[in-house]
Amino acid sequence: MVRAMDKKHKNTKVGIVVSDKMDKTVVVRVDRYLLHPMYKKFVRKTKKFMAHDENNACNIGDRVRIVESRPLSRRKRWIVTEIIEKAK
């Protein structure tokens, strides 16, 4: 039997920071492209995630990788693991 803490591959996502106004928390926008079943056209779907940023290192526009974790607060279930690209 595998417990939740023994999982080797946690869910990760890459997105763009859209808000850093909170202390140690950033809001990350994750886009994904899906093929519309009827119109056969690619449609962009967007979802926002709140992520824990321990050192307040992220700024608006940064491209970051977030990983799933235990619940840290009411809406925060993700942690920023790395900043892939800083905003210009």
Instruction: Report how many helices (DSSP H) and strands (DSSP E) the chain contains, helices first.
Output: 0, 5
- Rounded to two decimals, the pTM is 0.85
pLDDT of residue 8: 72
pLDDT digit string, tens, across residues 28-79: 999 999 999 999 999 999 999 999 999 999 999 999 999 999 999 999 999 9
CA-to-CA distance for 11 and 6, rounded, in angstroms? 13
81, two tokens: 């693991």
Direct distance between the N- and C-terminal alpha carbons of the chain, in angstroms, rounded to an integer:
47
Residue 16 has pLDDT above 80, yes or no: yes
3: pLDDT confidence band, cut at 50, 70 and 90?
low
